[in-house]
Structures are given as structure tokens and as C-alpha cells.
Structure 1
Amino acid sequence: MSRDELEGEDDTTVAVFPSQTSGVEFLKENNAWGFVHIDQQPEYVAMYISDDVQQVRYVARVKEIVPSTEATLARTLESYVGDQAEFDENKQVVVFEPGTLYELENPIDYESRVPYSLRYTELGRFKQAETTDDIL
């Protein structure tokens, strides 16, 4: 999917999360992003993949945010340790609308700014960004 195809007003909230390459498996197997602190209900979630990728490469529409202990995940909560998102009962899981997790055709490349933790941006900026500096 191209960023131009994302629907919403320019001021629609996009939550940008950092992830290692290993976190992509969590995204795909759960159609969710997990074990985070989040204080807003964004319309979209975008994932900056670090390691050798260094791009905002994935986007999904948010369905709901649930406590981690109430999330329906592909594996047991306790199995999420190590390289992937690590289970924490005090954190939340961001569940995506079914079928809305996309790998971007036009990912946003790293320039000099990296989301080391959750950052928010607007959909208009996200769609037009050439580099991560444009959204952070």
C-alpha cells in the first residue's frame, strides 16, 4: 500500500513505534502491536524498523487498545520474551482492524531522527514525508 492511499483528515493521529526486525513477526502473527504504554487512541499505527532496515515500513488502522492481560494473541503471553515485544501485565496491546496491516510501497527512510519510543504525528505529515525527520 502507498501512503497516499491512507484515508483520513490531515490532522488524523498516527502513532509511530520503534521496532527491531524481530518485532515484525509479532505484528504479522497477532495483527497487533504489543506491550506498550499508550495514552491516546490513534487512528493509525506506523512501525519504524531499526537494525539494518532503518525505515518506517509498516502501517495499520487501529481497532482498539486493550490491557495486555485481555489481549487475544497467537501464543501465550509468557512466551513473548527476548527479541520480540516482551509481555508486561501493566502495558497494553494495540489491536489492528482486520486486513489493515500493510507493508508500505513507499517507506519513510531514516535521515537523522529516530523514534526511540512512541511518537505521534499527523497523517498529512506522514503521507508527505521524505524522511523520518519530516514526521518526528
Structure 2
Amino acid sequence: IGIQKTRRHDGKLKVGIFGEDAGPGKGPNYCKDRGCNQGTLGEGWGSGSAEFPYLLTPVDSFKNGFNDDKVVVTEHLDNKLDYYKKNPSVLKDQDYEMSRPTLVPMLPVRTVMSTAVPANDGRQ
């Protein structure tokens, strides 16, 4: 990645993956018409949505892509910002510091209004 690496954990690089959008949530087909905001979102929601036979999450992709002999991946698949503010050691325990380039899976959504997700439908 072009970043100076500091290996503090038995010679392995420790990388943390943060945020519920990186993980599986309750599964890709948990909500009717995909009409909820939990875990990795594979598509928008509404009448045109489909059933997923599988959905590869960002956390699985990162874990599968890293060499286990060289990298330790820690998962923090939640959005508990207050917890991390009160427990900054969780963030500092990563070899990639927050001031350096960071991978942050995000959930951008644009969909039809046939299915409204509470507090996420864009209306005031």
C-alpha cells in the first residue's frame, strides 16, 4: 500500500476492520425487499430487489486476501462510536494508525420509495 508498516504483534501486521457495513449483519436476505439497513448492502431496496444466493462481505474479502502468516485481522463489526471514544486503545492497537490511509466500508444507498426504511427515507 506504500505505507510504513510497524509490526508489533509477533512479527505480524495487525489490521482492524470497523463498522457494521463491513460484515454480514443478519444475512443478505434478512429483510423483505432488502428494505433495511444492516450489514453489507448488496443493492438498494424495493420492488426490484432480488434474493441473494450469497453475498461476499468486505470483512470476508479482506480476511481472504491477507496472508495469515503476515497479517492479523481484528473485526469490530458495529457502529458503536461512543464505545471507541471511551476505549481508544481499541483503535490504537492497530498497526495502521488512524492518521494513515484507512479502509472504511461505507453504505451509500439510492433506491425507489416503494419501501421506506425508518429514519432513512430522506424525508423530514
* TM category, shorter: under 0.3
Question: Which structure carries more strand by proportion?
Answer: 1
| TM-score, scaled to structure 1 | 0.22
| TM-score, scaled to structure 2 | 0.23
